[in-house]
Each structure stands twice: as structure tokens, then as C-alpha cells.
Structure 1
Amino acid sequence: MMRHLHSIMRITWMDKVTNKKILERRGLPSMEDLLIRKNLRWTGHLMRMSPDRLPKQILYSQLSSGHRKNGRPRLLFNDTIRRNLKLRDITTDSWTSLTQQRYKWRALVK
């Protein structure tokens, strides 16, 4: 994608323009922003599901047995949600009630 934007905007590698600057000039979101948006949209969909659905059960479940490998623990989905909510300036204590109002949640995520 970036190669095509470079050619459309007639920017060569010698111009030393970063990808971030090119995306800002075109008014396009970064890849990180797109991933955060997709993650929060899926989270809203997940929170509106009925409790008997498997994806929601998996979100709230915990392993009863097993062990982890040495080193830093892997990032959990809930940790990712909290991090993305913080990046979007959404309060972490009331976000579950916001997801029930689909149109407001979508506007907030965008």
C-alpha cells in the first residue's frame, strides 16, 4: 500500500519522507489505528452477545489447571482491551454499559 502511495504522490526514496507523514498528508489512519478500531468493534460485538455463546464464555473463562512457561506472561485479550480503551480515552469502568448502545459505541470507537 505504501509503495503505491509513494508513486501516486510522486515521492521517491531520496525525498526521505516517512510513512507516517505520507498517511497524514492523505488523511489515512495508521495500521495501528485500524487494528485498535477493529479490536474494539469486535469487543463491542462480543459484549452484546448472549452469555451462552462460546466466544463470550471463552472471554470470561480462566484455565483451571496447567502451567505457564518461564518469562513474561503472554498478553491476555482483556489486557489488550484495557490498553486499547486507554488509547481511545474511554473509561475502563463504564465501557461495558457503553457497548450495549451499539450506535454510541461505534461512534466512540471511530
Structure 2
Amino acid sequence: MFTNSSVKSVLLYGSKTWRGTNTLTNKIQVFIDRCLRNILKVRWTDKVKNTDIWKQANQDPIGQQIARQKWRWIGHTLRKPPEDITRQALQWNPQGKRRVGRPKTTWRRSCEEEMKNCKVSWGELKKAAQNRVRWRTVVDDLCSTRIPRE
């Protein structure tokens, strides 16, 4: 579909490294829903659910697509040699004291939260990433918490 080939790829460029907030995801989803409705010629007076539009356009929710890209990139990075700078950055743990108050939700903390929800540890992910076929199933498990396809 046209949205996959041009608009969405530009819109989501680098999204695998974004801190995934609900506000940002919702804003992107609203824009994509509007584009899909224009492409499919669905008017606002037609009471059609967004999930029905996604099924008709063969699309997943944008949060699921971003999460899938992110976990694919993490697997790619974990397969790199240990001396590679991107792998070192992925596993870097800053030292020192943090500010008083609630810690900010960082990209790494959001990844750890997704791993915790699926009951997977970082060590298990590092081991699974070495096998591409196994990694694809791990990515499917991590990203399947959204709307299932029929």
C-alpha cells in the first residue's frame, strides 16, 4: 500500500530508538488512521472502527510496528561482536548518583518493562539473539500484546 512505501517510512525513520510514550504513539496513530481513511475513501460520517480500517488495509497498530522494529534492531545489535560500539552502547550502565524524585522513563527502561511483561531476562535475550529464527519468535512474543490479526 502507498502509506507503507513513502509516508510511513519517513514518519517512522529512527523510531526504533525513540522513547515510546503513549502520547507520541497516539499522535502518530491518529495521523496514520486519517491517511488510511483518505486512501480507503472512508468518510467521518461512516461509523467504521479503526480496527476495521487496519484489517482492511492489512496494517498493525503503530505501537506494535515500532516495537517490532525496535526489537529487530536490538537483535541485530546483539549479534554484533562485543567490541562494536553500538553493542557497547546498548549494554552501557551509567554510574553515579541520580537526581531526587521519580526516575525518567528512558528507552532502556521501556525495553526492560516490555521484557518484564513477557517474563524474559536480558541474558535470555542475548542468547536468543544469536539464533535468527529463535529471535524472530522472541520478537513476535514481545510484540504480540496488542491487537491480534484475524
Deviations 1:36-72 (A, max 9, x none): 101101110121121111222222222233533x443
Who wins on radius of gyration, i.e. which is larger?
Answer: 1
Gaps of 5+ in 1: none
Between the two proteins, what is the percent identity of the paired residues? 26
Deviations 1:82-109 (A, max 9, x none): 333466x5x5132221110023313542
Deviations 1:8-54 (A, max 9, x none): 33311112334333112332111101101011011101211211112
Gaps of 5+ in 2: 1-31, 141-150
Give the paired residue count.
107
Aligned-pair Cα RMSD in Å: 2.5
Distance verdict in 2 for CA 1:4–1:65, change over 3 Å:
closer
Which ranges of 4 or more aligned residues in structure 1 deviate by more than 6 Å? Answer: none
Residue 76 (structure 2) pairs with residue 48 (structure 1): no
Work out whether residues 128 and 138 of structure 2, in 8 Å CA contact, stay in contact via their aligned partners in 1: no
TM-score normalised by the chain length of structure 1: 0.73
Of the three residues 64, 71, 88, the one matched with 1:33 is 64
Q: Which residue in the other structure is 1:82 paired with? A: 112
